[in-house]
Structure 1
């Protein structure tokens, strides 16, 4: 009997367990999923919690309930991976030997990595929404906020769902307008990037949306510390940005055991081949989803599309054959823009977000790089798809690799603006 151990029962880990359990003979392969608890969080739902659009009960379910029969679920924290000995060591002393290992432990916000972030103002005037606890605390703070300087801040890239800070800013603008408070609030967007987003065409488009909403944008801002006494962001080049209410996205990092195991980079992400997700150091270790260092968005869509490519590659790999699938970094992200509208961006390693229709040429029904109510409804519908189709590993009628059908390159004007 051979052992497949999957570290992480989140999006990627759960999908892999479901798909491979149906493809691997039970008489030949034992599959184990390890996670620190039995709570699976639908993380895109965090965005709506501060504005009352999603309840905590809608974003948390049991991890175990989404794993198929024939998969062991182990609750425990990983101490380290002994890659030379092919064994996972848990903090309580248990040992899990493996023939193949998949690291799918994601990425988490680390407010402890920025001086002053976890000071006296944490969860008083400084909040995050990348955790359920943070989103709930922010909801309470917003209910009491009646004016002042609201700053949305990204510490450093990469982060989970890189469009979420923009979405929060757009939703905050709409929420404030709906309560007659917008004229009493200075809304500021602070980013380490040189524009609103990582991809130039999308950055120009999204930056224009911020301008339309009279959001002040501070670019190239590398935060050195937060002065919680003065309520001020301070950059390495000594720029200062005051705030009354700060909504920050802390530094995101991979799991600490990755560093202890000698498997990660400076941010604890596992270096892998960007097309196969196979470790660059060990031939029996893969890293999937947010846990890897691939140059793609750390988003659920990337986990989904990469898992589709990974499964067939994995079966070829364990059979001693060359892996023929090549993941292209495909990502698509809904961007909530407020007032029950959203836009959709679709891109990969090499291709900028394009205009056009998705997923079907001409028909759509979703519009790319355009705000529509249908896109907003698509984002809301995705929660049901996530719980009922994606996690159980059921087929999703979308190509894993980016398709150019029904899409159009950026116009010359868009390129010049970018």
Structure 2
């Protein structure tokens, strides 16, 4: 019997456990999932809690409910991984031995890593309790300067701070108080997003909404006494209400195990998610060094690639299936509309339609109602299909049919139908 231990029962860990259980019998494969508690959080829901769209009960459900029969769930803190001995040491002196290890513990917000960022009056929405506190802060805010700030990249769901900013603008407008609020978006990047084409579009949307953007801001500390963000080059940005997205880091057991970099991210192959140091260790979800978004869609596509490689891995063969960095990112833009980004390692976000060429109904790099409805509908899809490992009508590789490929140098775009036909579906 082969023993596989999955560290983390979140999105990636639950998906891969269920997919493995569906393909391997308990007598052939023992699957153990380890997490600290029995609460599975729908993390995209954190964004909506401050605005009253979702409640706690809509984003938190028992983990066990979403794991197939025949999967062991161990509730314990992880002390250390001994990759040479192929053993996971848990709190309470319990040890789990493995043949294959999947690290799916993701990243967590670490405001303690920035002086003052964990002080009074500094908010974020990257965990449930912080999101609930921000909900109260918004309702008590009489007006003034709202600053939305990103400490450093990478972060989980890199579009979420943009979404919060757009939703806050709409929330104040719908209440007739927007004229009392100045909104400032502060980022360490040189624009609104990491991809230039999307950055240009999103920056233009800020301008239309009277949202000011401060770029290239490397925060040194938060001065809570004077209510100012302070950068290393001594710029100071005052605030009345601060929403500061903290540094995102992998868990401390990664450092204790000697498996990660300075951010506790595990170096892994960009195409197979296999650890560069240990061939029987894979990293799925946000906890690795994949050079793409730390987002649920990436976890979904990466898990599919892992499953395609699984038989080859078991046979000791080369892993021939490659993840292309594909990411779908919905951006809530307020007033019942949304925008959709679709990109991978090599491409800029496209214009066009998704998932059907010329039909959509979702538009790429363009606001429409369908994108917003799809974002809200995804919560049900997440609970009932994605987590349970059921098939979804999306190809793992990004296909190009019906999309417009922009040339960054000229700023022009042309339909790339030939590439679309080639990339419409994986062929093996």
TM-score range, shorter chain: over 0.9
Relative to 1, partners in 2 of residues 1:412 and 1:91: Cα closer, same or farther, differing over 3 Å?
closer
Look up the SS of the partner of 2:33 in the other structure.
Answer: strand
Give the distance between the partners of 1:152 and 1:400, measured in 2 at CA: 33
Q: Which moved more, 1:305-314 or 1:188-197?
A: 305-314
Give the equivalent residue in structure 2 for 1:71.
Answer: 71
Give the equivalent residue in structure 1 for 2:313.
Answer: 317
- How far has the Cα of 1:410 moved from its partner? 2.2
Give the distance between the partners of 2:327 and 2:215, measured in 1 at CA: 24
Select 1:204's aligned residue among 200, 216, 222: 200
Give the equivalent residue in structure 2 for 1:41.
Answer: 41
Asked whether the equivalents of residues 197 and 408 of structure 2 are also in contact (C-alpha less than 8 Å), the reply is: no
- How far has the Cα of 1:242 moved from its partner? 0.5
- How far has the Cα of 1:29 moved from its partner? 1.3
- How far has the Cα of 1:26 moved from its partner? 2.1
Unaligned runs of 5+ residues in structure 2 are 413-428
Give the distance between the partners of 2:174 and 2:290, measured in 1 at CA: 40
- How far has the Cα of 1:412 moved from its partner? 6.7
Aligned: 1:183 with 2:176: no
Asked whether the equivalents of residues 204 and 414 of structure 1 are also in contact (C-alpha less than 8 Å), the reply is: no
Aligned: 1:55 with 2:61: no
- How far has the Cα of 1:325 moved from its partner? 0.6
Give the distance between the partners of 2:239 and 2:44, measured in 1 at CA: 26
Query: How many pairs does the alignment contain?
Result: 413
Cα shift readout 1:62-93 (whole Å, capped 9, x = no counterpart)? 11110111110000010000011000000211
Give the distance between the partners of 1:132 and 1:25, measured in 2 at CA: 36
Select 1:404's aligned residue among 381, 400, 407: 400
Give the equivalent residue in structure 2 for 1:150.
Answer: 146
- How far has the Cα of 1:379 moved from its partner? 0.4
Give the equivalent residue in structure 2 for 1:127.
Answer: 123
List 4+ stretches of structure 1 deviating above 4 A: 411-414
TM-score w.r.t. length of structure 2: 0.95
- How far has the Cα of 1:240 moved from its partner? 0.2
Cα shift readout 1:284-341 (whole Å, capped 9, x = no counterpart)? 0000110111101000000001101111212210111111110000000110000000
Look up the SS of the partner of 2:167 in the other structure.
Answer: helix
Unaligned runs of 5+ residues in structure 1 are none
Select 1:165's aligned residue among 155, 161, 164: 161
Give the equivalent residue in structure 1 for 2:425.
Answer: none
CA RMSD of aligned residues (A): 1.3
Aligned: 1:333 with 2:303: no
Give the equivalent residue in structure 2 for 1:115.
Answer: 115
Look up the SS of the partner of 1:102 in the other structure.
Answer: strand
Asked whether the equivalents of residues 301 and 326 of structure 2 are also in contact (C-alpha less than 8 Å), the reply is: yes
- How far has the Cα of 1:413 moved from its partner? 8.8
